[in-house]
Amino acid sequence: MDDKIAFVKEIPCILVEKKGNKITEKNDFIITEERIAIYLNDIKIISVMSIPCDQDAYAVGFLMSEGVIEDIKDIQNIVIANDGLSVYIQANINTENLKNLYHEKTLTSGCCVGVTGNFDGKIIEKFIDSSFEISINRIWKLIEDFENSNLLFSITGCVHQASLILEDESKIFSQDVGRHNAIDKVVGKARLNQKDISKSILLVSGRLSMEMVIKAAMHNIAIVISRAASTYLGIKTAQMLGITLVGFARDNKLNIYTHPSRIILENS
């Protein structure tokens, strides 16, 4: 059995179908999430509801997305507890950005409390002027692969995914119940493996709100593609930060909202 199936539980339920008022007792496949605690330099800084896999990648991705850890080399040690429910990181940190994490509770349309604080402080000065380009034909192929890669979603209907396509065409993939977590996990995996992601493409399954775009900007990712919608602040932020934002990438169509010049539209 694939180890990912370990995060799925079979739960009895009653399936009711309107046609013929059919009633069937069956088992449904349900995703399991756990509360995972992140400790930074011996202090518990946050907990997250997450599928308990890639916990170290999540912690690193989240803390780097928030600017608390600025360079992977600043991490001295990472340990995942045996029960998988805690991650302990020792690192040199940006204490100012750690304070921002607690600056104000902002319930975003999804999650990610601290991001908006950091956005107000620092990232707003950023502009990604990468000349990185990709052809539309390559994008169609990436979207097709992405759609076919989420086993856990196909089983449970309850999982977001994120994929980074690196310059050497290798791919890093992650999944989680939360769309934010999936992104933090995938960038964390890349960072832990010392990958340069400044010339990568981020594909996600979830809605592109402002905080998702900011996460991409924090990792200098110039192209972000989602199968879902973008919000107005998501688009505005991408425009401002120099990110090429693509939404509704599904059914062999897509919308390019910002900085379209990185996508070569002519067939080649």
Catalytic residues: 111
For the CB of residue 14, give the shortest distance to its own copies in the complex, in Å.
Answer: 4
Cα gap 70→122, rounded to integer Å: 13
In 3D space, the residue among 202, 168, 199, 198 whose CA is nearest the CA of residue 185 turns out to be: 202
> Which of 44/73 has CB closer to its own copies?
44
Closer residue to its own copies (CB): 127 or 140: 140
Do 202 and 163 contact (CB within 8 A), yes or no? yes
CA-closest candidate to residue 63, choices 127, 115, 109: 115
Compare residues 165 and 195 and give the one whose CB is closer to its own copies. 165
Beta strands 160-165 and 201-204: pairing type? antiparallel
Minimum CB distance to its own copies, residue 195 (Å): 24
Nearest to 56 by CA among 83, 81, 91, 31: 81
Strand-strand pairing, 244-250 and 223-226: parallel
Closest approach of its own copies to the CB of residue 53, in Å: 14
Q: Which is nearer to its own copies, 139 or 195 (CB)?
A: 139
Q: How far is the CB of 13 from its own copies (least distance, A)?
A: 4
